[in-house]
Amino acid sequence: MRRILISILALFVTMMLASHGADGQSKKKKSQPTPPPAPQVQEQPAPVPQPTVNRLIVNSFVSDPDLTTHLVITDLDGTSPTVHIQFYDENGTILYDKYEILAQFGKINYDIYKVLGQKKTTGTVRAESPTGRIVGQYWQFYNDPEKHGLNVALPASNGDGFSKLLCEHFGSVPDITSTLVIANTERDKPTIVNIKFYDDEGTILAMIRKVISPNGHISVPIHDTLKDALKDSFKETLVGVVYVDAEGGQHITGEYWERSDSQHYQIALPMEGTQKTR
């Protein structure tokens, strides 16, 4: 009997000690500080990409009753883009300003003389679209049937322009009228250009410096320019290449025009953008 009582007493003590230990562990756990919640990282909104503006420039147009000239702008990707069309004279003065919405895969075809209110003038055309890619052309027809051999057309240039241009060939010949047309793509500042003429062997013939108004263009008659620059060393027949640098990294575009009334032809070729000049 005594042994049983001793066993019961030992069991009771063991149970009390176990209960006391559990309470101590529980208190220890409760006494531990609760870690602060992890800070929430706010996600920054993704930047909204700026729309790509597709720009074209017609370096030279003519509005004249003796000519029929057209500006053609076409939707390249079928997005029915909105196009901002502006005509400027040679000095960069605005002549016409309008927005057009092209039909899907469609085009607009401006009769320039009519659009400008039968005004006789020359200048440049700018076409811009932030909503789709566009392509363009300039067409020039002579109303006199005897001058149909002088009809010409050429694509619009990249309106972003280049800081350096190359004219791959020029001819300075007595019975040929050859002209460089250089347009300033800068909207709000004039551009100074250095025009360098070289012969076919790469020897420099002459260099001239010109200022082009914002949104304007210049026409450089090659034969007269070389005659004035070379003076006594001038030769009536000269051929070669032309490099044009825009100072300050500003951008330009250009064309080479060549016409012969005696041979009944006229050509117009865009100048190439290049990374280097001589």
Q: Where are the domains of the chain?
A: 51-159, 161-278
Strand order of the β-sheet with 107-111 is 107-111, 67-75, 134-142, 152-155
- Encoded amino acid at 91, one letter: N
Percent of the chain past pLDDT 90, that is, above it, reads: 79
The lowest-confidence range among 47-61, 149-163, 178-192 is 47-61
Q: Going along 130-163, which residue ranges are E strands? A: 134-142, 152-155, 157-158
Q: Do domains 51-159 and 161-278 have the same CATH topology?
A: yes
Predicted TM-score (pTM) of the model is: 0.80
- What spatial distance separates the first Cα and last Cα of the chain, rounded to whole Å? 122
- Encoded amino acid at 173, one letter: V
**What dotted CATH number matches 51-159?**
2.60.290.11
- Does position 114 have pLDDT exceeding 60, yes or no? yes
Average pLDDT of the chain to the nearest whole number? 89
Per CATH, is 161-278 categorized as 3.90.470.20?
A: no
Percent of the chain past pLDDT 70, that is, above it, reads: 81
Residue 70: closest CA among 10, 137, 24:
137
DSSP character at residue 151: -
